[in-house]
Amino acid sequence: MIPTITREIKTYFITNTIGYNLVAFLINMPSLGNTDSPIADQLLLRERLMMTDAVAQEIASVGYQRSIITFDSDNIVFDNLGKASIDVTAEFFAPVENEIGPFTHIVWARGANLIGATSVNGNNRGDNTGTIWKVEPVTLALLTLQAGSTYTATTDISITV
């Protein structure tokens, strides 16, 4: 007999495991490689990246703030093959008076400290609470976001059982 994993538990996994206090932040760490096909050493560095190490490389530009990720669990899509998924988006704004960067990667971390997160403190920029879920190179790395512009990144949270 084939067991069936319910939509309820798939939704729970996405919203309360990966999606719990999910943030995205930008780091400048070229040693992680700038492609979707990292060499073995770069892949190993990505796999072993811890919050304390990533936060130490988080950009510190004036006006930069982490992106707090929110989504509606009603938008989770279920297919006939057991997959549940949702796309989530992070946005980073460079203030009109200042550029932000340079940066090479976007780090997605769950379980981040959101208490007291405001634009004044960069949504708790520099706080190493949480667990890295995913590290992705940005296109055109080493990237600097020009004053008054926006950088948007989208990724997929999914579970297949």
Residue 140 has pLDDT above 80, yes or no: no
3-state secondary structure of 99: coil
pLDDT tens per residue across span 40-56: 999 999 999 999 999 99
Q: Is the pLDDT of residue 4 over 90?
A: no
Amino acid at residue number 90? A
Are 102 and 159 in contact by the 8 Å Cβ rule? The answer is no
pTM, to two decimals: 0.94
Kindly report whether the peptide bond that precedes residue 38 is cis, defined as omega within 30 degrees of 0.
no
Q: How much is the average pLDDT of 95-114?
A: 96
CA distances from residue 126 to 35, 38, 64, 66, 138 in whole angstroms, order as listed: 25, 26, 11, 9, 20
Tell me the chain's radius of gyration from C-alpha atoms.
Answer: 17
Going by C-beta distance under 8 Å and a sequence separation of 6 or more, which residues neighbour residue 9? none
Mean pLDDT of 11-26: 96
Band (160; pLDDT cuts 50, 70, 90): confident
Which pLDDT score, from 0 to 100, does residue 124 have? 97
Mean pLDDT of 106-130: 97
Confidence of residue 3 (pLDDT cuts 50, 70, 90): confident
Element (H, E) at 41: helix 40-48
Note whether 82 and 160 are within 8 A (CB).
yes
Task: Check residue 92 and give its pLDDT.
Answer: 97
Q: Residue 141 pLDDT more than 90? A: no
**Is 1 a residue whose pLDDT tops 90?**
no
User: Residue 12 is inside which H or E element, if any?
Assistant: helix 7-12
pLDDT, average across residues 79-104: 94
Domain ranges of the chain: 7-154
Comparing CA positions, the residue from 73, 94, 76 lying closest to residue 84 is 76
